[in-house]
Amino acid sequence: NTKTDIRLVDLDEDGVDRAFRADVLTGLKSDQKAIPARWFYDERGSQLFEDITKVEEYYPTRAETEILRERGDEFAKLIGPGRAVVEFGSGSSVKTPLLLSAIEPGSYVPLDISGEFLRAAAADLSAKFPGLPVYPVEADFTKPVELPAEVSDAPKLGFFPGSTIGNMVARTATDLLRNMRETLGDEALLLIGMDLIKDEAMLKSAYDDAEGVTAAFNMNLLTRINRELDGDIPVDAFRHEARWVEPYARIEMHLVAQEDVTFTVSGESFSMQAGETIHTENSHKFDLRSANMMLLAGRWTPVKRWTDAEERFSLILARA
């Protein structure tokens, strides 16, 4: 089976992920040090993200789930039965079943770069929907993906919940939307979650919760670097910070050095002055116009938009 033979992670002779090392070393050499947010998600980071979705201040998961729970009839009417639902990411145990039970899909095709997550999620889903054909695909969905032959004739519904699109800068988000359109074809629909611009205090506390779960999630990146890239970063010298950056309409997460520090990673030396930061994540927020503009730039036409009762989060249906 060629699908399971594809190696999507490129390890060197010491078992180090080359892309991780390259991103970290390049990022630490920049004027504004920065490491891409995708590296948060080792085993511990994935668990911490799960925990974040349950903290009081982090509203996006609950708000989006509320929309999925309450708008099922409208989804069914606009989307219709029989589509192949292509989920970008291996799926959430709560959100995906809500969508699938609302619309009578013809099949379910989860795409994920991690085969392990993918198989676990596919098995879970098959158990919940015994009659539904499930075709998991191990792939980097930021690029165009060739879907299984079994779904080639079915019209597709792309599903991209969670406002993960917000973790990309506009250029990358646009490229992804265009690639999704290519993956899904001319008859496709896309149901995509986008978090909304709102009161700054509410946004900041969602990314800096009182329990410190988000702080632990951010700090875990340093622990991961030390473990996987033979680093000696003094983790305790750093603190978590979440900032609202108005011109970009985004929350930025940073790791702030609280004193002057020097450290090595993969044999290379770095120093930071007190107050200097490593930028670790962007989480863009949208309003009606910026959401529509982003979709149009990505070659999708907005059809309908839903929000939760408190208008914190939006789920948008678009057509190719």
- Positions touching ligand AVI (CB under 6 A) are 52, 60, 162-164, 166-167, 207, 214, 281, 283
Half-sphere exposure of 26 (CA within 13 A, CB side): 8
CA distance 65 to 201: 22
Q: How far apart are CB 163 and ligand AVI at their closest, in Å?
A: 5
Q: How far apart are CB 166 and ligand AVI at their closest, in Å?
A: 6
Q: How far apart are CB 280 and ligand AVI at their closest, in Å?
A: 9
Compute CA 57 distance to the chain's CA centroid, rounded to the nearest angstrom: 19
CA distance 296 to 318: 9
CA distance 313 to 197: 9
- Those residues whose C-beta lies under 8 Å from the C-beta of residue 168, and which sit 6 or more positions away, are 176, 282, 284
- Quick one: 110 or 166, whose CB is closer to ligand AVI? 166
The residues with which 243 forms a beta bridge, in sequence order, are 252
Q: How far apart are CB 142 and ligand AVI at their closest, in Å?
A: 14
- Quick one: 167 or 183, whose CB is closer to ligand AVI? 167
CA distance 71 to 66: 8
- Quick one: 107 or 205, whose CB is closer to ligand AVI? 205
- Quick one: 60 or 231, whose CB is closer to ligand AVI? 60
How many residues make up the chain in this entry? 320
Report the largest interatomic distance among the alpha carbons of the chain, rounded to a whole angstrom: 60
- Quick one: 52 or 320, whose CB is closer to ligand AVI? 52
Torsion on CA atoms 289, 294, 298, 303, rounded to nearest 10: -40
Q: How far apart are CB 283 and ligand AVI at their closest, in Å?
A: 3
- Quick one: 151 or 213, whose CB is closer to ligand AVI? 213
When CB distances to ligand AVI are compared, the closest residue is 283
Q: Which of 52, 42, 47 is nearest to 240 (CA)?
A: 52
Q: How far apart are CB 63 and ligand AVI at their closest, in Å?
A: 11
